[in-house]
Every structure is written in structure tokens, then in C-alpha cells.
Amino acid sequence: MKYAGRLAAVTLVGALSLAACGTDDNSTGSGTSSAAAPSAGSDAGLSGTINAAGSSAQANAIDEWKKNFQQTNSGVSVNYQPSGSGAGVQAFIQGTVAFAGSDSALKDDKGEPAQADARCKTGKAINLPMVTGPVAVVYNLPGVEGLQLSPKTLAGIFNSKITKWDDAAIKADNPDAKLPSTPIQAFHRADESGTSDNFTKFLSKTAGWPYEAAKAWPAEAKGQGANGSDGIAQAVKGAEGAISYVELSYAENSSLTKAKVANGSGEFVELTPESAAKTVEAAEVVGQGNDLKLDIDYATKAAGAYPIVLVTYEITCEKGLPAEDAKLVKSFLTYTASDEGQQALTGLGYAPLPASLLTKVRTAVEAIS
């Protein structure tokens, strides 16, 4: 049955200090286990290895989750490679990881659902939203604070049409600012990324972005590439005149300056957990059954809503994983979707899921076998 409903508002926490992210090897297969998955995500008899890969946007959340999960499940090792959403999805389709992390759901126009279903063999692949990650527009322009950027101006900057910081379009968004003639250095993700997918979806829905919204950055838009969220953060920090898009957690960790972005009503909004929550409220669950794919309203006109958000999914098989893998994945995701797991996101620059969506996620995780 197709779900379609507005998500309830979520209470978010504003503390934004960041734990370091972990990178692990995932070359040993998708997982092994020796005991049934516990309902609470903890079982002293559970053992084996979970290999997963994908979104670097969720790497810090996974790092915190795996640390806590392994403390109560000492026989389990969680290896997560933050290789980017595109690489993670392909690794899952190829059967080398038990689940993929992705900043966008499996894409119909790329044939990903059918390919993932084929990997699952006896079941289907499901998209499980697990954490909200607001996307910050970050810039390095000494002396300029409180920069405001409309979607149209952002599209011009990232399409290499606006090349100087004192361009008339930027001045129109910032009538009281003293803008230098510094050349703009627009950075984008060089690797396939769900963050790029969400950012270009935002531009497509709000500013007539002339290219396909996709995980891969369009070559026609030019700009400079950097790998991973860490790479983007460091590139902006090291280049005067730079601008890019990166998850809030990485922006905060690198002490980057964030721009205010105009929503669908033309209101320039500062990115905070609370302002991002107002856009999440407008999201709809459009998947079928336990597939919880979301449709985000990037053009929301809700007062005080920051419009660029992404939701990170864990993509796995509802049925069809090897039995030992299914036990481990179900146990780990039971923990990440628990109250304790969601509260562990506090202070990492992420947001817990809305309660109404979390109930659906828990039901879907319970169905994994």
C-alpha cells in the first residue's frame, strides 16, 4: 500500500559539536553471525561482522552508533566505508555489503530498485530513512557575515554563470553588505554523492537548474571537485572566495561560515536544527509497504523553514539476505532506530527522525529476515 502523509514535527537539539568519523575496511564479505537478532538490538550471544558502505554524510552517525552497539554486542564488528552514496549503492547491488548508506533513495530512472531487488533474490530492497542531515551552503569570504543567497543566485554560482562576489545578483540578495570583487571558487563533490543529488534537486525544484538532478555532478556546470564531505569542508576552509554545500555536521566541525538561504516564500533563513525540522515536516512517505522512500518539498513556504535538507537511508533487503547477515543487520538497525540510537545523534549536527516516521521505520526493521 502506498503511504502519503505529512510527517509530524520533530524536536531537535541545537548542540552541534562533532565526533570524528571512522573509516573501516569492508573487504571481507557482507557479514556473519551465530545467534538470533534481539528485539532490543543487544544480545551477548550475537557475533560476526557487518560490512556496509556509502554516504559520507552519515559517517559520523554510524561511527557513534557502531561504538555504542559494539559495547553491548562485543562479539560484533561493524565496518562502514564512507565511500559515497553512489559507491555504497553499487556495493550493495553487487552483494559485497549487507547494507548501503545513501543520501537518496534507490533511483527508479537508474534502474536501481530492480537491480537491488535482484540482489535480494527472495525479497525486495527497502529504503529505510534513519537520520536527517541538513545541508549547509558554506563560504569563505573574510569580512562578510550573514550572507543571503536565493535559489536563483545559487544556481548561477554553481552553474559558473556568476563568477565574482560583487555580482549584481549577489548584491540584490544582500543590499546592505559590502561585497568584494573576489573571484568565486565553487566547489562540488567529485565523487557520486547523495548530497549532490539533494542539492541539485533543490536547485531543480526552485531555480530551474538546467541539468539532471543526480549523484554525479554535471560536467557542464564546471567548478572544482573535492572528494567526500571532509574534502569539501577542507577545500572551502583553505580557499578564500570559496563556496560549496556540505552537511551541517561537517560545516560545524570545520567552523565554516553558513549562508542564509531563501525558501519558497522568499524568506532568507538561517540553518538551525529547528529551521530544518520545518522542512522535514512537509516531507511525504511515498514508498510502498516497508519501503519508506520520502518526497521532500524543497520549495516549502513554511515560515522559518530552511529548505535544503537530506534524509540518509539505510538500504538493505527486507528478505533475501543470507540468514547470518539478516540477523546482524536487523539487530544493528533495531538499535539505530531505537530511542537510544536516535538520542545518540544529539550533539553530532544531525536530527532525530520525526516520531511518526520512526514508528514506520521500526516496523520495517522488524520485518527483516
Least confident residue range of 13-17, 84-88, 287-291: 13-17
pLDDT at 352: 77
Mean local confidence (pLDDT), 119-138:
93
Q: Which residue has the higher pLDDT, 273 or 248?
A: 248
pLDDT at 234: 97
Residue 54 in this model has a pLDDT that exceeds 80: yes
Q: What cell numbers appear for 348 in the block?
A: 553530532
pLDDT at 33: 34
pLDDT at 42: 56
pLDDT at 271: 93
pLDDT at 44: 56
Domain ranges for the chain: 135-277
d(CA 117, CA 255): 41
pLDDT band at 64 (very low <50, low <70, confident <90, very high): very high
pLDDT tens by residue, 199-246: 999 999 999 999 999 889 999 999 999 999 999 999 999 999 999 999
pLDDT averaged over every residue in the chain = 87
DSSP-assigned letters across all residues of 176-227: T-----PBPEEEEESS--HHHHHHHHHHHHHH--SS---SSPPGGG--EEES
Judge contact between 306 and 39, C-beta under 8 A: no
pLDDT at 298: 94
Residue 147 in this model has a pLDDT that exceeds 50: yes
Largest CA distance in the chain: 65
Q: Which residue has the higher pLDDT, 194 or 206?
A: 206
pLDDT tens by residue, 264-301: 999 999 998 778 878 877 788 899 999 999 999 999 99
Residue 8 in this model has a pLDDT that exceeds 90: no
Q: What percent of the chain has pLDDT over 70?
A: 88
Which one-letter amino acid corresponds to residue 82?
P
pTM reported for the whole predicted model: 0.73
d(CA 270, CA 259): 7
Neighbours of 253 (CB within 10 A): 22
Q: What is the separation of C-alpha 224 from the centre of its chain, rounded to a whole number of angstroms?
A: 21
Q: Which residue has the higher pLDDT, 134 or 236?
A: 236
Q: Which residue has the higher pLDDT, 302 or 21?
A: 302
Length of the chain: 369
d(CA 113, CA 107): 7
Superfamily of domain 135-277: Periplasmic binding protein-like II (3.40.190.10)
pLDDT at 41: 55
Judge contact between 119 and 93, C-beta under 8 A: yes
pLDDT band at 43 (very low <50, low <70, confident <90, very high): low
Q: What are the respective helix, strand and coil percentages of the chain, to the nearest 5?
A: 35, 20, 45
pLDDT at 275: 86
pLDDT at 37: 34
Residue 251 in this model has a pLDDT that exceeds 50: yes
> Which uninterrupted H or E stretch holds 81?
strand 75-81
**Smallest Cα–Cα separation from 79: which of 92, 98, 93, 95?**
98
Residue 81 in this model has a pLDDT that exceeds 90: yes
Least confident residue range of 7-21, 71-85, 162-176, 194-208: 7-21
**Smallest Cα–Cα separation from 247: which of 193, 201, 310?**
310
pLDDT at 265: 97
d(CA 97, CA 93): 8
**3-class SS of residue 96:** coil
